[in-house]
Amino acid sequence: MNITDRLSAAIAETLEELYGIQSTPADITLQGTRREFKGDYTLVVFPYVKQARKSPEAVGNEIGAALQARLPEVASFNTVKGFLNLEIADRYWLAFLHDRAGESTFGLTAADENAKPVVIEYSSPNTNKPLHLGHIRNNLLGWSVSQLLSAAGANVKMVNLVNDRGIHICKSMLAWQRYGNGETPETTGVKGDHLVGKYYVEFDKHYKEEVKQLTDNGMDEEQAKREAPLMVEAQQMLKRWEEGDPEVRRLWETMNGWVYAGFDETYNRLGIHFDKIYYESQAYLLGKELVQKGLDLGVLYRKDDGSVWCDLTGDGLDQKLLLRRDGTSVYMTQDLGTALLRHNDFQADQLIYVVGNEQNYHFKVLKLILGKLGFPWADKVYHLSYGMVELPNGKMKSREGTVVDADDLVDEMERTAEEMSREHGKNDELPADEQRHLYHILALGALKYFILKVDPTKNMLFNPAESIDFNGNTGPFIQYTHARIRSIVRKAGDVTEWNPAALEGVVLGEKERGVLTTLHTLPDTIRAAAEAYSPAMVANYAYDLAKAFNSFYQDTPILREANPDIKAFRVALCAAVAQALKNTMNILGIEVPERM
């Protein structure tokens, strides 16, 4: 039991003994003491004043004295108005570092492979365009939440749902047929997903021209959008696909194959992988079967035009289309099928969907319809909704070709990492291949950290120049801190073992305590972050720890310390910080270098 747990249990017992206040350790909230006051943990005593019938200062002093008598770890206390500040004895911090913080798995909980899995879906790309900046946030968030839940002990399975069919896919296929002149990734040297994305943009360009021509001839704009020849032909192609037309299916398989090869390259660069990949083309028929089940149960209804709907007005929503009048499916149709497939495959404890907040309504509907279809596991569906990524010049639009391509962004980040490293005079002594690897991990560290340090629920503005700074709240700052620490530990050589008893009577410095108290919060931080599905909490912990270490490093001699026992302790402290940074950054999918 760590000191915060011991304090919470002792405070609950003390409250009952002194004032008859019934509480549990879970009811007790401790916070770190503010820097201007002496102490490590602070208890707000105002909630107990009324029942104690004493002043806040008196209540604080009485609880503090009782805790000091009960727990040898409490070295001193002071009460400032309604805040009880508790100082923990140095011997506790020394024992903590020696017994726990030095472990390679400190803060991490081993996953229970026999537990029901938590299934996390992320990425979910369309096969009509390459991955872009919006996909990057999705992938990084999905990967990091998966690692975070694993670090908190969950049995996690990562899955991807590829949106490989639908009208948007047919648009790229039709445009390639019309304007592609048979070009392929091999003949052009263009990455497959980029080539297909080119024709998605090409479709939109020609489609707009047709719509304009129709409206110039007096047709209503909405009618023109529906009746433009290209759109009509794309819809006919989708119907032929669903009917199994061999020619359409061959073209679809060929172009999707180009895209999958391109996606794999991008995933590898980002360090992303999946335990299982689902395809909409394999799920939409099951979705149609579920729609028929809903019709048979009477929870769905068919309109006169043949389309199928679910009436959710009684649930505070509206009516939701599940099958078009021509019998083709919509996103909801295949999502119903995929949810059932996933449940049958994993018998999951929870089905988490990492999808942007523009789909909040969609997942409310999915959950409701699954429930109406009689699936008791519908309440295990959870939408991990996240905000959009914007650039300084505004939003991105795929069909207009104004997106920031993921591959181009990583290339640019690597160039920037190299420029800034050379500007700071770092890495010049490393071999060329190590330099290239370092620029890559710095680039990804900058990109991943900048995106993941933001609360997932918030929209964010991505600024590549800010993300790769070696100072401030950035990935490279933390990576450089880790490399600095590893250099210290290497130079220390044989100084690896130390004995807390040898430091009896040594008073820890303020900066040493700051590092130790920050280290101490790692398990609680990971647990809280997992409960909130928030890698941002882990990212900002890593930054706080790096800041605390650098403050300690600037103020305190380590290798120059004359006392061998103190020197060994400080080297051990350095090593523990490096391990904690490595563990936390690993949760974010970020590699930390051994040298820079």
Domain interval for residue 337: 275-404
Biggest alpha carbon–alpha carbon distance for the chain: 92
394 and 290 belong to one structural domain: yes
> What single DSSP character describes residue 359?
G
329 and 473 belong to one structural domain: no
Tell me how far apart the alpha carbons of residues 516 and 247 are, in angstroms, rounded to a whole number: 66
Residue 220 domain-assigned (yes or no):
yes
Predicted confidence at residue 472, as pLDDT, reads 86
Final residue before a domain boundary, out of 219, 243, 273: 273
413 and 477 belong to one structural domain: yes
Predicted confidence at residue 398, as pLDDT, reads 41
Predicted confidence at residue 425, as pLDDT, reads 64
Tell me how far apart the alpha carbons of residues 521 and 546 are, in angstroms, rounded to a whole number: 14
322 and 418 belong to one structural domain: no
Is 278 in contact with 346 (CB distance < 8 Å)? no
pLDDT digits (tens, 9 = 90+) for 475-484: 999 999 999 9
461 strand-pairing partners: 390
Question: What does the mean pLDDT of the chain come to?
Answer: 92
Name the pLDDT band for 496 (thresholds 50, 70, 90). Answer: low
505 and 523 belong to one structural domain: yes
**Residue 151 φ then ψ, to 5°:** -65, -25
Residue 522 domain-assigned (yes or no):
yes
Mean pLDDT calculated for residue range 526-547: 97
423 and 526 belong to one structural domain: yes
Higher pLDDT, 183 or 429: 183
Name the pLDDT band for 399 (thresholds 50, 70, 90). Answer: very low
Predicted confidence at residue 555, as pLDDT, reads 92
Tell me how far apart the alpha carbons of residues 212 and 68 are, in angstroms, rounded to a whole number: 80
Predicted confidence at residue 214, as pLDDT, reads 95
Tell me how far apart the alpha carbons of residues 460 and 443 are, in angstroms, rounded to a whole number: 19
Tell me how far apart the alpha carbons of residues 320 and 303 are, in angstroms, rounded to a whole number: 12
Which tokens in the block code for residue 373? Answer: 């279809």
For residue 180, the SS3 value is: coil
Final residue before a domain boundary, out of 249, 273, 297: 273
Of 33, 50, 2, 144, which Cα lies nearest the Cα of 588?
A: 144
Residue 115 domain-assigned (yes or no):
no
Helix (H) or strand (E) holding 320: strand 319-323
Predicted confidence at residue 401, as pLDDT, reads 45
Mean pLDDT calculated for residue range 398-410: 69
Residue 103 has pLDDT above 70, yes or no: yes
355 and 247 belong to one structural domain: no
261 and 286 belong to one structural domain: no
Mean pLDDT calculated for residue range 320-334: 89
Structural domains of the chain, count: 4
Residue 98 domain-assigned (yes or no):
no
84 strand-pairing partners: 43, 79
pLDDT digits (tens, 9 = 90+) for 359-378: 999 999 999 999 999 999 99
Of 294, 297, 296, which Cα lies nearest the Cα of 337?
A: 294
Tell me how far apart the alpha carbons of residues 118 and 381 are, in angstroms, rounded to a whole number: 10
Tell me how far apart the alpha carbons of residues 252 and 237 are, in angstroms, rounded to a whole number: 10
pLDDT digits (tens, 9 = 90+) for 405-434: 888 888 888 888 888 877 766 666 778 888
pLDDT digits (tens, 9 = 90+) for 210-254: 999 999 999 999 999 999 999 999 999 999 998 999 999 999 999
Predicted confidence at residue 582, as pLDDT, reads 97
Predicted confidence at residue 422, as pLDDT, reads 78
Residue 396 has pLDDT above 60, yes or no: no
Name the pLDDT band for 395 (thresholds 50, 70, 90). Answer: very low
45 and 64 belong to one structural domain: yes
327 and 415 belong to one structural domain: no
**Cα distance between the two ends of the chain:** 38
Higher pLDDT, 461 or 586: 586
Residue 557 domain-assigned (yes or no):
yes
Find which of 321-325, 396-400, 472-476, 546-550 is predicted with most confidence, using mean pLDDT: 546-550
Tell me how far apart the alpha carbons of residues 496 and 473 are, in angstroms, rounded to a whole number: 31
> CB count, 10 Å around CB of 223?
12
Final residue before a domain boundary, out of 373, 404, 435: 404
What residues have CB less than 8 Å from 13, skipping those under 6 apart?
Answer: 70
Q: What is the dihedral of CA 137, 139, 144, 147, to 10 degrees?
A: 170
266 and 289 belong to one structural domain: no
Q: Is the dihedral of CA 16, 22, 25, 29 positive or negative?
A: negative
What residues have CB less than 8 Å from 507, skipping those under 6 apart?
Answer: 90
390 and 481 belong to one structural domain: no
pLDDT digits (tens, 9 = 90+) for 268-288: 999 999 999 999 888 888 999
Predicted confidence at residue 469, as pLDDT, reads 79
Q: What share of the chain in percent tops pLDDT 90?
A: 80
